[in-house]
């Protein structure tokens, strides 16, 4: 499997994050990058991380994209479950003009977790 990183856009410094959010974001990123390497080998991949009132993670590839009528497998379901367990969300969708994008958001307030 081959992965071609086109860009990585992350803040120079991050605020202290809840450990559960750090782990979930890391695991989702690893799963998304693994899927990109498996299903879009050699296609450019971008990783973006932003912190506003939430931690926002985006992994996009330039591959063929999700096929029509695809069914989420264990990996995609686990990404969604990880985010949901922390009050966040994870959406996997087609990217225009081509490719797949994984977007995950997590609340950063301890009370929510």
Q: Per the domain annotation, does 112 fall within a domain?
A: no
Instruction: Provide the residue range defining the domain that includes 32.
Output: 4-107
Q: Do residues 62 and 113 make contact, with C-beta atoms less than 8 angstroms apart?
A: no
pTM given for the model: 0.87
Q: Per the domain annotation, does 79 fall within a domain?
A: yes
pLDDT tens readout for residues 24-65 = 999 999 999 999 988 888 899 999 999 988 999 999 999 988
Give the DSSP H or E segment for 104: strand 100-107
Q: Per the domain annotation, does 38 fall within a domain?
A: yes
For residue 13, what is the domain's CATH number?
Answer: 3.30.565.10
């Amino acid at each position: 499997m081959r992965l071609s990183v086109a860009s990585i856009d992350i803040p120079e410094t991050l605020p202290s994050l809840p450990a559960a959010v750090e782990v979930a974001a890391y695991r989702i990123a690893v799963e998304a990058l693994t899927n990109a390497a498996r299903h879009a080998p050699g296609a450019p991949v971008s990783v973006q991380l932003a912190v506003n009132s939430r931690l926002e993670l985006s992994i996009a590839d330039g591959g063929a994209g999700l096929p029509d009528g695809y069914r989420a497998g264990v990996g995609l379901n686990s990404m969604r479950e990880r985010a949901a367990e922390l009050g966040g969300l994870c959406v996997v969708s087609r990217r225009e003009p081509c490719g797949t994008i994984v977007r995950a958001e997590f609340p950063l307030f301890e009370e929510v977790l």
